[in-house]
Chain A
């Protein structure tokens, strides 16, 4: 398991978009700072 730390490269995260298509979050931070909120759960 990766130990993600401040100052270190972010690991790649594969998530699902609205049509359940897979997307790499790195595609989003390539355009600028990305704030990612990891929710507790849906609800």
Chain B
């Protein structure tokens, strides 16, 4: 996503991230990882609950990613931050998601990850934005 930020902006879209910690924790992670877009916090996971973003179990956290998507699992492992992982506000079992909302406030895209390596392709997201 980071490398494609300009493509989203060229299509009039903004990109933001929401994580499970506080806003200041999100900002710190963004600085640490050199993330170019704003990162917000949702320490009580309310947005996650509203979007019904699921949780995985021990198998989904450990062996499943390596069986189903070894490359994706290795990417996740390479990017892991152990310090951030022990944040008490962060649920490591919580799965990710992506939502695109148009300027009228209508949900135009919603992806609820089925496992830890299930991430929509940037091209798919760009296609949705281009069609708005």
Residues from chain B with Cβ under 8 Å of A25 in the complex:
16, 18, 40, 47, 101
Interface of A is mostly: loop
Residue in chain A with minimal CB distance to B17: A37
Interface range on chain A (Cβ under 8 Å from partner): 35 or more
Interface range on chain B (Cβ under 8 Å from partner): 35 or more
> Are the C-beta atoms of A4 and B103 separated by less than 8 Å?
no
A41-B19 contact, Cβ under 8 Å, with A6-B108, A28-B14, A32-B14: yes
| Bound: A3/B50 CA distance, A | 7
What 0/1 pattern do residues 92 to 117 of B give for CB contact below 8 A with A? 10111111111101111110010010
> Are the C-beta atoms of A33 and B13 separated by less than 8 Å?
yes
A41-B23 contact, Cβ under 8 Å, with A10-B107, A15-B42, A26-B105: no
> Are the C-beta atoms of A39 and B18 separated by less than 8 Å?
yes
> Are the C-beta atoms of B16 and A39 separated by less than 8 Å?
no
Interchain Cβ contacts under 8 Å between A and B, 10 examples: A1-B52, A15-B18, A20-B22, A21-B23, A33-B102, A35-B125, A40-B94, A41-B20, A42-B87, A43-B87
